Structures are given as C-alpha cells and as structure tokens.
Structure 1
Amino acid sequence: MIDETQRKAKLQRIELLLLDVDGVMTEGGVSWNNQGVEQKTFHIRDGLGIRLFSQAGKRVGIVTGRASHVVQLRASELGIGIVRQGVEEKLNAVSSILTETGLSFEQTAFIGDDLPDLAVLKRCGVGVAVADAVKEVLDAATIVTAARGGKGAVREVVEMILRAQGRWDAIVQRFESGVS
C-alpha cells in the first residue's frame, strides 16, 4: 500500500479505467435461464459511475476472460467502446489497448479480483482489488475498495479518481441543479 499523497498523485494521472467483469462488475456468479441464456446482475451505481467517468472525458474498457453476449449488451448500454472478451493473457490485451489509445500503463487504473488479473493489476499505475478479491490480488493492489465486486466497487473507484482530479464536486453540483 502507499500513503495518501502518493495515492492521490497516482489517481490524478488516470485517463483510462479498465475493468474485469465477473467478480468486479458482477458478484462473480453466472446463471442461465431455462432457455440456456446466460444472465448476470450488474450494480446500477456502477453503471452511473462509468457514464460519469466517460462524461468527464475519460475512457473505460472491459478486459475479461469469459465471453458473454450479456457483457456486450451492458458495455453498449454504458457506451464502453473498449471491450475485450475471451482474453487468456490480459496483460497482452491491455498492452494492445494502450497502443491503440496512445495511453500508458501509468495513466491506467485496472480493477480486478482474481489471479488472471494479477499481472495487469501490478503493471498499471493504479491497481485496484475489490474487497472480496483473492489474497494475492489484495496484496498486490495499490487500492482495495470497501465495496465487494458487483456491489458498487466500480463506482467507488470512479469517485476516488474524479475526486483526486478535482472533478467530483462539479458533477454533484450538476445533479443538485437538476442537470444530469
């Protein structure tokens, strides 16, 4: 872990937020209906956080080991343009994303929960573990959220970044004035 001054400095550099899905955007469970269609539950506050982050001129992406039509639907709904599914080597996928966007690892925050996220989490400027991540991910993280995966952890990180960058108060004021 790092001290508050270092944490804020790292958060101020973030331009790209990358997310794992299962265990980060969701609680980690997968279910199927009786027609065999996969279902996932996403937290609404995480969704608003993602939209607010994008509206602040930042980029959001998904890098996940599983491939799911539900994830593509959620990404489309939230305007997430960077979506990599069925990824076996997440570090390679993130390196490719950074080449495409012209951003650096130092400008990237990644939220993960399990061992496939470890290499990316350790390489990014801000590596975030959700509260219920596995021990190795918790130990490697720059930041550990108070919220569990699928329970508002993404929103918590978005707020941290936008507060550190001095943007959060203006967002709140927009909502207070009735302009969202």
Structure 2
Amino acid sequence: MPVVRESATACAGRLKLMAFDVDGVLTDGSLFYTDDGVEIKAFNTLDGHGLKMLQQAGVKVAIITGRRARCVELRASNLGIGYLFQGVDNKLAVMNSLLVELGLTADVAGYMGDDLPDLPLMSACGFSATPGDGHALVQSHASLIATRWGGRGAVREVCEFILEAQDKLAAVLAPYLPVVER
C-alpha cells in the first residue's frame, strides 16, 4: 500500500503536467557503460505503458534529469514524450520555464524524484511522488511514496494513482478488458 499524504489525491486530480526524473525513478539508478564509454540504462515496460496512459488521458508528460544519455532520448521518443530536458543543473528553473511555455501554474504540475537534487522541484509542485526506495528526506516531503522501487514499476503505480484521482483510470483500462456478452 503506497503512503499517501492527506491532500495527494486532490492535488493529483488537478494535474495537467507530470514530470519525472530518470536515474532512480525511470531506472533503478544503476549506470552501465560500454567499453566505448556509452551509458546504458534499463527501463521498465510497465512504467513506459503508465506514461503512455497518462498522455492518452490528456496529462502532459516531461522528463527532467541531471544526467545526459542518448538512451534516454531514445526512450522518450519511443514513448512520445516531447518535453525532454537532460543535463539539467537547476530542475526547478527548467520546470518554471516549461510552465510558462504551456501556460500552466505549479499547482497543476507534479514531479517524481528520488534524491536530494529533486527536492526543490518536488516542493514547488502541487503534487510530488517518489519510489519506495527514494531517499528518506525525499520521502518525508513527497505527496505519495510508491510501494514499488525506481525502475521496478514505481512510475506505473504513480501514473495509475493520478489517473484514479482524475476518474480516468477505468476508461484508460477499458480497451484491455475482455468484453462480456450476455
């Protein structure tokens, strides 16, 4: 059972934009390098489908991360995520610029992070989430603490929480359910 702060459901119900960190959120935080120095990451397909479901329901999705890797660009493209910001030192400044571009305010934006550099952005958003293995200080400030870990379904859990808070989860899941004829 995820840890849900008092206003988390109401805040998630208003979201128009949800942004995610990569290392420790969309991945388990491990970094792999080839002998040629190319960085490789493992992404979870459950998380990917959750991001697609959010977009399908009308929630804009962004990735804001401190590191830069070609594989993240490829994953974002594969998922249809057009708002990708890599190599970011000041995540809050990037989010603020994106909010201006989209004509949104921070109270309808959310961020999922797992470590200390994520705290300023998480604290500025109307909704925040962290994986079950997020840093303890980050967990103490998050609206929602997932039961799943980073790179292991935590993003999917958060996506479904948001969709449920917006009364959109049943509609998003309906095409996958068998039709019962009477």
- Both structures adopt the same fold (TM-score exceeding 0.5): yes
Which letter maps to 1:161? I
CA displacement 1:92-116 (0-9 Å, x = unmatched): 1110111111111111110000011
Please show how residues 43-54 of structure 1 align to structure 2 within 5 Å.
43-54=44-55
Aligned to 2:33: 32
The match for 2:168 is 167
**Structure 1 residue 177, shift from structure 2 partner:** 4.6
- Asked if 1:2 is matched to 2:5, the reply is yes
- Residue 31 of structure 1 deviates from its aligned partner by 0.4
Aligned to 1:56: 57
Paired residues for 1:4-153 under 5 Å: 6-153=7-154
> TM-score normalised to the size of structure 1?
0.94
Q: CA deviation at 1:126?
A: 0.6
Distance 1:17 1:173 in 2: 23
Structure with the bigger RCO (C-alpha within 8 Å, sep 6+) is 2
Q: CA RMSD in A?
A: 1.2
Runs of 5+ in structure 1 lacking a partner? Answer: none
Confirm or deny that 1:156 pairs with 2:157: yes
Higher alpha-carbon deviation: 29-38 or 73-82: 29-38
Give the partner amino acid of 1:176: L
Residue 93 of structure 2 aligns to a residue whose secondary structure is: helix
